[in-house]
């Protein structure tokens, strides 16, 4: 049985939470660079409040990725619910709860369509959800004519309170982010459904032979992904007071970047909720710091790309390296030998993608 000091050392090791240490380095760097503006409570609130929606979108792709499915329509779904909520509130005079319900019904429909195309029709998820996204964008253009929808109804309570109500400077979207992460963490880590999702992602054929209903699980993850990204769109509309036809566009790349960086944290090789939240806040801290340090406009993109590469190399590359070293030392069987190895790390998700 592993001793307590050993478990603590493993939990806090760079191998387990490397991104946290990168995050701390970023905090120290900007505290030195901008000592008057960065190391303040206001900055902490700004990082949390400003990245809550990004975190919701990033979490929306975690369940599908755990089951080895890509949902590239999340950004379009977010934009769709943003403009539909605004449209129903401003143009039709519906109440906020009815408008939100209709927008979320549209998100549910998107999830079902994605699931039918991917699971039932057996179209590759990468291509299918990208095509679905193009269809959603055409609907958005038809509703908005590529113009943001604004109106006093979007600025009035109770709709505005969905994202703008705060306690001690921390807005409600931060609570939504924590609740979503808690729910996904519980399902993936503490239920049989979560274990079956991971089994489906690692090796769908083997899981199917063990009686796991892989198709049903993939169907459910695509529906859940659409609902969560759709909710992010509603929160975004409440936050900015308008329905933007491009609300989700900036979030797609960052969502997948956070999910893949998060897969190297806490539960190495597995897409997980808290690792994704850490990655979102890491990127958000750096971008906020650059803004407070009045850096060049291009610096934010340079920072994001650089941190992603460094984080994936330092915390993701370690997944395969120890396995290779132990195999060279003769502690693991060679992959050319007959099957029999049960090494968990050999089945881990590489930094650049998933593997069945």
3-state secondary structure of 250: coil
User: Residue 313's pLDDT is what?
Assistant: 67
pLDDT the model gives residue 203? 92
In order of 226, 242, 276, 289, the CA distances from 88 in angstroms are 20, 12, 33, 38
Contact criterion met (CB below 8 Å) for 326 and 344: no
CA pair distance 158, 196, nearest whole angstrom: 40
Q: How far apart are CA 333 and CA 152, in angstroms?
A: 67
Q: Looking at residue 242, what DSSP letter applies?
A: E
Q: Which residues pair with 242 in a beta bridge?
A: 150
Q: Give tens-digit pLDDT for 159-197.
A: 999 999 999 999 999 999 999 999 999 999 999 999 999
Angle at Cα 173 formed by Cα 170 and Cα 174, nearest 5°?
Answer: 55
Predicted local confidence at residue 310, as pLDDT: 65
Tokens of 182: 């808690």
Q: Do residues 75 and 57 lie in contact, with contact meaning Cβ atoms separated by under 8 Å?
A: yes
Q: E-strand spans in the chain?
A: 149-150, 166-167, 170-171, 242-243
Residue 15 or 229, more confident:
229
Model pLDDT, residue 46: 94
> How distant is the alpha carbon of residue 342 from its chain centre?
30
What contacts 168, CB < 8 A, 6 or more positions away?
A: none
Per-residue pLDDT reduced to its tens digit, 103-152: 999 999 999 999 999 999 999 999 999 999 999 999 999 989 989 999 99
| Local structure of residue 306 (DSSP, 8 states) | H
Give 243's strand partners. Answer: 149
Residue 50 in this model has a pLDDT that exceeds 70:
yes
How far apart CA 92 and CA 243 sit, in angstroms, is 14
Please, which pLDDT band fits residue 300 given cuts at 50, 70 and 90?
Answer: confident
Question: What does the angle CA 253 – CA 259 – CA 264 come to, to the nearest 5 degrees?
Answer: 130
Which pLDDT value is given to residue 343?
Answer: 43
pTM of structure: 0.85
Beta strand pairing call for 242-243 and 166-167: unpaired
Local confidence band at 8 (pLDDT 50, 70, 90 cut-offs): confident
pLDDT of residue 307 exceeding 70? no
φ/ψ region of 266 (left if φ > 0, alpha if ψ in -120 to 50, else beta) reads: left
The model's pLDDT over 51-77, given as tens digits with 9 standing for 90+, comes to: 999 999 999 999 999 999 999 999 999
Residue 2 has a pLDDT of 63
3-class state of residue 350 by DSSP? coil
Write down the pLDDT at residue 71: 96
Residue scoring higher pLDDT (268 or 353): 268
The pLDDT value recorded for residue 291 is 86
Q: Which pair of structure tokens corresponds to residue 89?
A: 């509130």
Rg (CA), the chain: 21
Torsion angle of alpha carbons 283, 288, 290, 293, nearest 10°? -150
CB 349 within 8 A of CB 271: yes
312 confidence band (pLDDT: 50, 70, 90): low
């Amino acid at each position: 049985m592993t001793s307590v000091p050993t478990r603590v050392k493993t939990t806090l090791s760079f191998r387990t939470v490397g991104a946290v240490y990168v995050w701390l380095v970023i905090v120290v760097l900007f505290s030195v660079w901008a000592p008057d503006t960065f190391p303040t409570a206001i900055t902490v609130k700004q990082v949390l409040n400003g990245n809550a929606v990004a975190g919701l979108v990033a979490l929306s792709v975690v369940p599908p990725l755990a089951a080895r499915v890509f949902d590239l329509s999340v950004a379009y779904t977010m934009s769709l619910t943003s403009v539909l909520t605004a449209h129903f509130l401003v143009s039709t005079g519906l109440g906020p709860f009815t408008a939100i319900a209709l927008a979320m019904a549209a998100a549910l429909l998107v999830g079902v369509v994605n699931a039918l195309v991917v699971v039932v029709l057996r179209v590759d998820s990468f291509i299918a959800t990208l095509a679905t996204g193009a269809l959603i964008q055409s609907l958005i253009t038809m509703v908005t004519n590529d113009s943001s929808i604004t109106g006093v109804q979007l600025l009035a309570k109770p709709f505005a309170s969905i994202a703008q109500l705060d306690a001690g400077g921390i807005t409600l979207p931060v609570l939504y982010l924590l609740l979503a992460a808690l729910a996904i963490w519980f399902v993936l880590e503490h239920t049989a459904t979560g274990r079956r999702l991971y089994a489906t992602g690692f090796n769908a054929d083997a899981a199917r032979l063990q009686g796991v209903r892989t198709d049903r699980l993939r169907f459910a993850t695509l529906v859940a992904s659409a609902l969560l990204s759709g909710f992010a769109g509603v929160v975004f509309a409440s936050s900015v007071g308008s329905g933007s036809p491009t609300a989700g566009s900036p979030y797609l790349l960052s969502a997948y970047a956070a999910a893949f960086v998060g897969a190297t944290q806490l539960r190495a090789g597995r897409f997980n909720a808290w690792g994704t939240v850490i990655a979102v806040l890491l990127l958000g801290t750096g971008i906020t710091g650059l803004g407070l340090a009045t850096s060049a406009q291009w610096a934010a993109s340079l920072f994001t790309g650089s941190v992603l590469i460094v984080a994936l190399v330092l915390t993701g590359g370690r997944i395969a390296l120890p396995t290779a070293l132990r195999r060279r030392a003769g502690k693991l069987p060679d992959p050319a030998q007959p099957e029999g190895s049960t090494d968990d790390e050999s089945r881990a998700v590489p930094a650049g993608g998933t593997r069945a």
